[in-house]
């Protein structure tokens, strides 16, 4: 079929379509209807109103932005199943929401009085697929989230050698506002106050003709480009004034720097401080920060505008510094647990980069002892517990705890592995047969849990097996297997199963374990619900298979959604 016709077929009913249907198809791929890359298509659709659109009309409509439209229509974006990914994220979002520990920063009124209940998560993929949950439109001062980008700004303008003379790149292991410096009197890195103050001085010293506010404006312009211009980058005078009134510790740092190695190009100390405090007082929201993070994840090219905002080399250096020091003296723990470059700020924002996949930003004002948002850090940890997003998840050798991976590349790999496994079973491969046998054992043990074998149960077992393995087993064989298990006299076939799974575990890779859990899952859900007893069984099987509890929760939430979703 002609490729244009193929696209049309995705939205057509009886030979025509509507603007609404086209918009719905685009929106479900994760591309926003106000995306600049589809602006002219959207304008044309709007003008059409409710009118029916035939194939000729469709062809005339989409030509100009065909490549983008085609990728969205055909789900050829970096996260192909965007809807499923969004609902998984919602599960994690809700999981974190009840956490009310920590407290707002209280050194200035505007942060002290901010609503601590606010909670938002925004995501933007490197293909510009976007989602937001909760308070993602609330403007807040970006505070220390500004630091890595002031560094990037300086790197881009002055080059790394010059910057290196004044600011180090070593993790400090100290609180963000520490007065301590490296033995050679340089600040540890650009992500702690001392380093960011020095960076402000470097930037300010490069344009002596501009005043502090004008210099801040050039950095705000960088933020506007990084965030694709979806909303204005603002400046909070109120924050700036309070910051200046309370910046005694930061002034102490500034004087230390001047008294140590001296300030770059003899920049005025007060101007340097004004630039630093002004950068802290820039206001953005989580939506905007997520796009900025996605621009970094995308090597400096903003996903929604296509603009190369920073060079890839500058981004690489910036991310390295974020990875080592973005969360101050908690950076080591964060790298261990989350393994992603990130930057937090005392207003409650965390901006996180998953290279080549997406950026995200969280907002929740309550902070932990390190000055990082409690919910933000917890969201990151929960996310990485369920998805293979930690940088070193890539070396799991097929044993990641069965974490999910929404990337298109992984999706096709999974399909291929599954096809291989089915094929290998039919030829008697030892490993594949083991997985198959354990799947059957699981199904039987769950079926026998109520002590009897009924015909509908055998039928649903056969159904589940056929769906997973692509081959329908003979119900009589299943019946015989169940009876044999029962006849073995095992009082508790389920306990025996768990023991067997634990024994076999060292030999099973993620694919095998996933299939076994899936078979259990399908049998437990065959009657259309997961009863408390079944929930316990599934959790026990997941534990025996060393599958992360969070991953199982996603699976259960998906199942429950399928039940409530009108088909």
**What is the DSSP code (8-state) at residue 131?**
E
Smallest distance, ligand GLN to C-beta of residue 394, A: 31
What is the distance between the alpha carbons of residues 205 and 165, in angstroms, rounded to a whole number? 14
Pair of tokens at residue 223: 């933020």
16, 40, 104, 177: which one binds ligand GLN (CB under 6 A):
177
Does residue 104 bind ligand GLN (CB under 6 A)? no
93, 166, 176, 223: which one binds ligand GLN (CB under 6 A):
176
Q: With contact defined as beta carbons under 8 Å apart, do 66 and 3 qualify?
A: no
346, 353, 380, 552: which one binds ligand GLN (CB under 6 A):
346
Nearer to ligand GLN, 29 or 362 (CB): 362
Smallest distance, ligand GLN to C-beta of residue 198, A: 13
Nearer to ligand GLN, 127 or 243 (CB): 243
> What is the pattern of x (binds ligand GLN, CB under 6 A) and - over residues 182-201?
-----------x--------
**What is the DSSP code (8-state) at residue 474?**
P
Nearer to ligand GLN, 280 or 461 (CB): 280
Nearer to ligand GLN, 286 or 526 (CB): 286
At how many degrees (to 10) do helices 475-487 and 455-469 cross?
120
Smallest distance, ligand GLN to C-beta of residue 322, A: 14
Smallest distance, ligand GLN to C-beta of residue 136, A: 20
Does residue 153 bind ligand GLN (CB under 6 A)? no
Smallest distance, ligand GLN to C-beta of residue 361, A: 14
502: left (phi over 0), alpha (psi -120 to 50) or beta: alpha
Q: With contact defined as beta carbons under 8 Å apart, do 444 and 490 qualify?
A: no
Does residue 151 bind ligand GLN (CB under 6 A)? no
How many residues belong to the site for ligand GLN (CB under 6 A)?
A: 11
List b or e across 434-457, with b for residues whose CB sees 16 or more CB atoms inside 10 angstroms: bbbebbbbbbbbbbbbeeebeeeb
17, 18, 41, 143: which one binds ligand GLN (CB under 6 A):
143
Does residue 243 bind ligand GLN (CB under 6 A)? yes
CA angle 196, 197, 199 (to 5 degrees): 60
Nearer to ligand GLN, 280 or 462 (CB): 280
Does residue 150 bind ligand GLN (CB under 6 A)? no
Smallest distance, ligand GLN to C-beta of residue 326, A: 11
What is the distance between the alpha carbons of residues 347 and 339, in angstroms, rounded to a whole number? 23
What is the distance between the alpha carbons of residues 106 and 278, in angstroms, rounded to a whole number? 19
> What is the pattern of x (binds ligand GLN, CB under 6 A) and - over residues 452-481?
------------------------------
Does residue 504 bind ligand GLN (CB under 6 A)? no
Nearer to ligand GLN, 254 or 357 (CB): 254
Does residue 325 bind ligand GLN (CB under 6 A)? no
Q: With contact defined as beta carbons under 8 Å apart, do 434 and 501 qualify?
A: no
Nearer to ligand GLN, 247 or 551 (CB): 247
CA separation, residue 377 to residues 46, 354, 381, 401 (Å): 41, 15, 6, 21
Q: With contact defined as beta carbons under 8 Å apart, do 513 and 530 qualify?
A: no
What is the distance between the alpha carbons of residues 423 and 416, in angstroms, rounded to a whole number? 11
> Cβ contacts of residue 452 below 8 Å, gap of 6+?
none
List b or e across 316-330, with b for residues whose CB sees 16 or more CB atoms inside 10 angstroms: ebbbebbbbbbbbbb
225, 250, 323, 548: which one binds ligand GLN (CB under 6 A):
250
Smallest distance, ligand GLN to C-beta of residue 519, A: 49
Overall residue count recorded for the chain in this entry: 567
Q: Which of residues 392-411 bind ligand GLN (CB under 6 A)?
A: none
What is the distance between the alpha carbons of residues 111 and 105, in angstroms, rounded to a whole number? 6
Q: What does the CA dihedral 42, 45, 47, 52 come to, rounded to 10 degrees?
A: 180
Nearer to ligand GLN, 215 or 280 (CB): 280
Does residue 371 bind ligand GLN (CB under 6 A)? yes
345, 365, 493, 550: which one binds ligand GLN (CB under 6 A):
345
Nearer to ligand GLN, 252 or 459 (CB): 252
118: three-class secondary structure by DSSP: coil
- Within 10 angstroms of residue 192's Cβ, the number of other Cβ atoms is 26
Pair of tokens at residue 149: 């980008």
Does residue 330 bind ligand GLN (CB under 6 A)? no
Does residue 242 bind ligand GLN (CB under 6 A)? no
Kindly list the strands in the beta sheet with 130-134, ordered across the sheet, starting from the edge strand earlier in the chain.
130-134, 120-125, 358-363, 349-354, 342-344
Does residue 148 bind ligand GLN (CB under 6 A)? no
131, 191, 230, 280: which one binds ligand GLN (CB under 6 A):
280
Site residues (CB under 6 A) for ligand GLN?
143-144, 176-177, 193, 243, 250, 280, 345-346, 371
């Amino acid at each position: 079929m002609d490729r244009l016709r193929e696209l049309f077929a995705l939205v057509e009913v009886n030979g025509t379509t509507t603007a609404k249907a086209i918009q719905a198809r685009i929106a479900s791929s994760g591309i926003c209807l106000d995306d600049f890359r589809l602006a002219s298509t959207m304008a044309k659709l709007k003008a059409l109103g409710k009118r029916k659109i035939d194939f000729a009309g469709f062809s005339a409509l989409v030509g100009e932005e065909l490549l983008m439209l085609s990728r969205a229509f055909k789900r050829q974006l970096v996260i192909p199943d965007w809807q499923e990914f969004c609902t998984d994220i919602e599960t994690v979002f809700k999981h974190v929401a009840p956490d009310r520990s920590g407290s707002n920063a209280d050194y200035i009124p505007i942060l002290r009085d901010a609503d601590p209940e606010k909670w938002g998560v925004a995501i933007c993929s490197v293909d510009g697929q976007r989602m937001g949950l909760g308070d993602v439109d609330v403007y807040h001062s970006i505070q220390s989230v500004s630091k890595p980008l002031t560094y990037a700004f300086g790197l881009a303008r002055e080059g790394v050698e010059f910057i290196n003379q004044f600011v180090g790149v070593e993790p400090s292991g100290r609180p963000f506002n520490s007065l301590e410096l490296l033995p050679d009197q340089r600040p540890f890195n650009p992500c702690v106050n001392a380093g960011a103050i020095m960076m402000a001085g470097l930037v300010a010293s490069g344009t002596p003709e501009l005043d502090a506010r004008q210099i801040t404006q050039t950095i705000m312009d960088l933020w506007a480009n990084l965030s694709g211009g979806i909303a204005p980058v603002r400046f909070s005078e109120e924050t700036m004034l309070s910051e200046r009134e309370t910046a005694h510790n930061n002034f102490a740092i500034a004087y230390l720097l001047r008294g140590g190695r001296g300030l770059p190009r003899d920049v005025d100390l007060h101007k340097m401080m004004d630039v630093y405090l002004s950068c802290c007082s820039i206001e953005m929201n989580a939506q905007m920060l997520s796009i900025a993070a996605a621009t970094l994840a995308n090597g400096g090219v903003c996903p929604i505008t296509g603009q190369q905002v920073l060079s890839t080399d500058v981004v690489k250096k910036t991310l390295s510094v974020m990875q080592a020091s973005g969360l101050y003296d908690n950076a080591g723990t964060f790298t261990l647990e989350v393994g992603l470059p990130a930057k937090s700020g005392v207003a409650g924002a965390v901006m996180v980069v998953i290279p080549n996949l997406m950026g995200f930003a969280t907002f929740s004002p309550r902070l932990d002892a390190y000055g990082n948002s409690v919910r933000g850090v917890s969201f990151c940890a929960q996310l990485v517990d369920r998805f293979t997003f930690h940088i070193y998840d890539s070396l799991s050798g097929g044993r990641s705890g069965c974490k999910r991976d929404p990337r298109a590349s992984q999706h096709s790999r999974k399909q291929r592995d599954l096809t291989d496994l089915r094929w290998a079973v039919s030829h008697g491969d030892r490993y594949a047969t083991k997985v198959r046998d354990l799947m059957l054992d699981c199904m039987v043990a769950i079926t026998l849990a109520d002590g009897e074998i009924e015909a509908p149960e055998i039928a649903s077992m056969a159904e589940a097996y056929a769906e997973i393995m692509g081959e329908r087993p003979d119900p009589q064989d299943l019946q015989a297997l169940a009876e044999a298990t029962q006849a073995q006299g095992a009082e508790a076939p389920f306990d025996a199963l768990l023991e067997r799974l634990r024994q076999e575990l060292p030999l099973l890779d993620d694919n095998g374990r996933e299939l076994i859990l899936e078979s259990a899952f399908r049998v437990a859900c065959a009657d259309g619900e997961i009863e408390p007893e079944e929930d316990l069984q599934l959790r026990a099987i997941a534990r025996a298979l060393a599958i992360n509890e969070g991953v199982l929760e996603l699976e259960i939430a998906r199942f429950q959604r399928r039940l409530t979703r009108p088909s």
